[in-house]
Chain A
């Protein structure tokens, strides 16, 4: 069931978020349109999570503006997997069911199976391991049948097999027409998934490029240094 109105593109115009005297992100001009996955790339504290929170409508910019499909308010079909997801105090299956628009046990089982958690369906979500919780959060986000899926380092605490499984899911979801916007530190992962790359440093957009260009010929010295494994502050 597709909503008639779309939240794409998500457009940032000179958007800044300030907390007291600190500029968390500054003067962001960025348009996230339909298409292949956009990877947010950048060192710790560069503003990736903040950008996702802004795009999700969880915080309003202190100056500038953000629009969703030309509208000032974000719609229903956005979903996000947080860097540290919050599990509701109920079973894994109930966490997925909670996000569904209508009660549907088959769909819950399907989604759990998709993220490889069918065997823990009846366990309390808070007792799952960190990696299992992250995958459960992905199932919960998919339960919302999103048009745009924001992922904040969804594989940060996963083992290689689970990382591959999540990357496969992300690719499949992207192939089904969902716009993926994903933050990651993992250069290999960014190469594997990215259609285009948004590189942030110190709360500013430093470079935006197609993945092929970004990884072979980054245009800015910061991005080049980061790709070489140098500390970028």
Chain B
């Protein structure tokens, strides 16, 4: 990003470096949410449907983990992926992949906890009917996830919002390398520390606009789905 350009010029001038940052931010957060959802949706739904000793403990921990400090998650992933760490052989530290993994871990508890809540509520309504239909436990999970799909869109958005807005994990495991692992949030942090507040603010506005656009798209998809599926 050339120094001295104003935030407005940057935002509306079609600066390729800015687009690269925006694209990377989107890419990392979307991949992180998808990765997290693959684990957290079935996990949250299964947790909602099963009763076992210690379940209350798991639920409390899961809810607490919704507020995991990003820097701590970043540090843990850093230790895992660093050369001497157990997953060091992957050689992904300071790459977008590491950022995806870290953000996925960060948002997994959010998606799992909200899914658990949503599915539990739906199960109250569905229990008799699905039991009468002699639906197997695995199919129950799939059915409830599918039938809760419109509420779960909001859950995924909550995860996306958290991932796109955080700076701690991507800073630590990505390293904020210009043109490679620099995201919106790490760029904002950097420009702020360099004293270029207008640029930082401009980037901040772009980030907020981006999150609004993603939410609007999801809202539209949800409405269309609801109208067609009831």
**A and B pair up:** yes
Which residues of chain A have a CB within 8 Å of any CB of chain B? 53, 56-58, 76, 78-80, 82, 85-91, 98-99, 123-127, 140, 144
A82 touching B128 in the complex, CB below 8 Å, given contacts A99-B133, A144-B133: yes
B132 at the interface (CB under 8 A from A): yes
Contacts of A57 in B (CB 8 A): 131
A56 to B134, CA, bound (A): 10
B147 at the interface (CB under 8 A from A): yes
Q: Is the CB of A56 within 8 A of B132?
A: yes
Q: Is the CB of B230 within 8 A of A89?
A: yes
A6 to B230, CA, bound (A): 38
What would 6 more interface pairs be, CB under 8 Å, given A124-B230, A144-B133? Answer: A79-B132, A80-B132, A86-B129, A88-B147, A89-B147, A90-B146
A78 to B133, CA, bound (A): 8
A76 touching B132 in the complex, CB below 8 Å, given contacts A86-B125, A88-B143, A88-B147: no
Interface residue range, chain B: 10 to 19
Contacts of B126 in A (CB 8 A): 86
Contacts of B51 in A (CB 8 A): none
B228 at the interface (CB under 8 A from A): yes
Contacts of A126 in B (CB 8 A): 230
Interface residues of B in 121-149 (CB under 8 A from A): 125-126, 128-129, 131-134, 143, 146-147, 149
Q: Which residue of B lies closest to A88 (CB)?
A: B147
Interface residues of B in 68-87 (CB under 8 A from A): none
A124 touching B229 in the complex, CB below 8 Å, given contacts A86-B128, A88-B143: yes
Q: Is the CB of B132 within 8 A of A58?
A: yes
The distance from the CB of B150 to the nearest CB of chain A, in whole angstroms, is 8
Q: Is the CB of B131 within 8 A of A58?
A: yes
Q: Is the CB of A125 within 8 A of B230?
A: yes
Contacts of A91 in B (CB 8 A): 229
The distance from the CB of A37 to the nearest CB of chain B, in whole angstroms, is 19
Q: Is the CB of B134 within 8 A of A76?
A: yes
The distance from the CB of B230 to the nearest CB of chain A, in whole angstroms, is 3
Q: Is the CB of A98 within 8 A of B128?
A: no
The distance from the CB of A185 to the nearest CB of chain B, in whole angstroms, is 21
The distance from the CB of B226 to the nearest CB of chain A, in whole angstroms, is 9
From A53, A58, A85, A89, contact of B229 by CB (8 A):
A89
The distance from the CB of A150 to the nearest CB of chain B, in whole angstroms, is 8
Candidate in A86, A99, A126, A140 with the most chain B CB atoms within 10 angstroms: A86
A98 to B139, CA, bound (A): 10
A229 to B125, CA, bound (A): 34
Q: Which residue of A lies closest to B225 (CB)?
A: A89
Q: Is the CB of A53 within 8 A of B128?
A: yes
Contacts of A123 in B (CB 8 A): 230
Contacts of A86 in B (CB 8 A): 125-126, 128-129
Q: Is the CB of A82 within 8 A of B132?
A: yes
Contacts of A140 in B (CB 8 A): 133
Q: Which residue of A lies closest to B148 (CB)?
A: A89
The distance from the CB of A103 to the nearest CB of chain B, in whole angstroms, is 14
A79 to B146, CA, bound (A): 23
